[in-house]
């Protein structure tokens, strides 16, 4: 039994959706692919698929084996490539989980720049603000905006992220500007709902003392850009990472509020599992991101023009 060929056939079937489609892509007979799947299942002693007359769905064992198989095949490809005549060039796939707003606004240009140097890397990006299980879902790494990295993962800090409270001039003209954190309870607050406590904002005074501030969520959403645009439209006050709102602040569409206070310290991290062998392509991409975002990010440098925002 050729374990490599059988594993490759299995992965192709999963990705193609059927044995027939996989056989067409591999340019082999359908019977060859079926035989390889049968040999693989007999060797493993488990069923990898739930088979019906119309479709094939992965079993739990099959799903776990698929994630590992993708990693193994990618590592084999990388090892072969590293010792071939193309030594030094990066090749293979990178499956990356990225937060939606940060990914669209700031990671896309970085990936385009990375691909100019490493054109044979293939990216598979999952834009989602919810945390994913890197091992179970087969990700090479994730980019996360967090106060602290998960202790079960290895994290490299890419850039500091500061939060800014702001509202539109129209809203402030209509409702007035809050003079203290306690005054926020009387205002309409636009709240990111993928946090544990959406009824409170953690605000710190100049001495670093926490002021747990009760707010009234007026509009809740799982996307920062949506909430930013709602604030621009005058719907309420928003507390957002600076990388989402800095352009609107620059052009006057949003006005920073309570700038003498500070908020939870966040950072952008590149995160990968401790048990994951760090491939050359993952290491190169993370090193690239660290260098690209080192120091004060450009979105925070822009806010230096505004009094008391640091």
Report how far residue 167's alpha carbon sits from residue 107's, in angstroms, rounded to the nearest whole number.
Answer: 26
Kindly state whether residues 147 and 278 are assigned to the same domain. yes
Q: What is the domain range of residue 238?
A: 163-264
For the chain, the domain total comes to: 3
From CA 65, how far away is CA 74, in angstroms rounded? 14
In 3D space, the residue among 144, 149, 95 whose CA is nearest the CA of residue 124 turns out to be 95
- Mean per-residue pLDDT, 177-198: 90
Compute the distance between CA of residue 254 and CA of residue 35 in angstroms, rounded to an integer: 63
**Greater confidence, 171 or 283?**
171
| Residue 137 and residue 197 share a domain | no
pLDDT over 80 (residue 53): no
Instruction: State what percent of residues in the chain have pLDDT above 90.
Output: 31
- Structure confidence at residue 145 (pLDDT): 85
Task: Give the pLDDT confidence score for residue 310 in this predicted structure.
Answer: 47
- Residue 278 clears pLDDT 90, i.e. is over it: no
pLDDT at 262 over 50: yes
Instruction: Tell whether 153 and 169 lie within a shared domain.
Output: no
Q: Is residue 308 part of a domain?
A: no
* Calpha distance 20→41 (Å, rounded): 18
Q: Are residues 109 and 77 in the same domain?
A: no
Alpha-carbon distance 41 to 58, whole Å?
A: 12
Q: How much is the average pLDDT of 82-109? A: 78
Confidence of residue 176 (pLDDT cuts 50, 70, 90): very high
pLDDT, position 85: 44
**The pLDDT of residue 301 is above 80:** no
Q: Which of 94, 182, 77, 176 is nearest to 140 (CA)?
A: 94
pLDDT given at position 265: 77
Main-chain dihedrals φ then ψ at residue 190, nearest 5 degrees: -100, 120
Contact predicate 155/290, CB 8 Å = no
- Among 56-65, 234-243, 247-256, the range scoring the smallest mean pLDDT is 56-65
* Range 260-273 average pLDDT: 85
169 & 254 share domain? yes
CATH of the domain at 8: 1.10.10.10
Q: Cβ neighbours of residue 218 under 8 Å, at least 6 residues apart?
A: 188, 189, 190, 191, 235, 236
- Given this model, what pLDDT does residue 283 score? 86
Is pLDDT at 55 greater than 80 in this prediction? no
Q: What's the CATH number where 131 sits?
A: 3.40.190.10
Parallel/antiparallel/unpaired status of strands 217-221 and 56-58 = unpaired
pLDDT value, residue 80: 66
Q: Give yes or no: residues 167 and 252 share one domain.
A: yes
Share of the chain above pLDDT 70, in %: 87
Q: 211 is written with which tokens?
A: 């002021």
Helix axes 60-82, 3-16, angle to 10 degrees: 120
Residue 64's contacts (CB-CB under 8 Å, 6 or more residues apart) are: 136
Residue 310 located in a structural domain: no
Q: Are 78 and 92 in contact (CB under 8 A)?
A: yes
Higher-confidence position of 197 and 117: 117
**Residue 127: closest CA among 146, 100, 94:** 100
Assigned domain for 305 exists: no
Higher pLDDT: 215 or 301? It is 215
């Amino acid at each position: 039994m050729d374990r490599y060929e059988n594993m490759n056939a299995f992965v192709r079937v999963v990705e193609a959706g059927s044995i027939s489609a996989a056989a067409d892509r591999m340019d082999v007979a359908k019977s060859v692919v079926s035989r390889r799947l049968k040999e693989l299942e007999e060797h493993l002693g488990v069923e990898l698929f739930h088979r019906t007359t119309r479709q094939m769905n992965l079993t739990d064992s099959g799903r776990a084996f698929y994630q590992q198989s993708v990693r193994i095949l990618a590592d084999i490809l990388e090892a072969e490539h590293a010792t071939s005549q193309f030594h030094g060039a990066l090749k293979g796939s990178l499956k990356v989980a990225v937060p939606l707003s940060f990914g669209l606004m700031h990671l896309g240009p970085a990936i385009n720049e990375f691909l100019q140097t490493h054109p044979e890397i293939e990216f598979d990006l999952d834009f989602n603000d919810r945390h994913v299980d890197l091992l179970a879902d087969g990700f090479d790494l994730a980019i996360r905006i967090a106060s602290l990295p998960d202790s079960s993962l290895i994290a490299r800090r890419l850039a500091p992220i500061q939060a800014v409270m702001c509202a539109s001039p129209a809203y402030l003209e209509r409702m007035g500007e809050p003079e203290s954190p306690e005054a926020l309870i009387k205002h309409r607050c636009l709240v990111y709902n993928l946090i544990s406590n959406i009824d409170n904002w953690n605000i710190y005074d100049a001495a670093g003392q926490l002021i747990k501030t009760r707010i009234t969520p007026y509009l809740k959403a799982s996307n920062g850009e949506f909430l930013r645009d709602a604030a621009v439209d005058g719907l309420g006050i928003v507390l957002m990472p600076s990388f989402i709102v800095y352009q609107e602040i620059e052009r006057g569409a949003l006005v920073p509020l309570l700038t003498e206070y500070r908020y939870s310290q966040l950072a952008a991290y590149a995160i990968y599992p401790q048990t994951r062998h760090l491939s050359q392509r993952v290491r190169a991409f993370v090193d690239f991101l660290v260098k690209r975002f080192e120091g004060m990010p450009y979105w925070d440098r822009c806010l230096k023009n505004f009094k008391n925002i640091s």
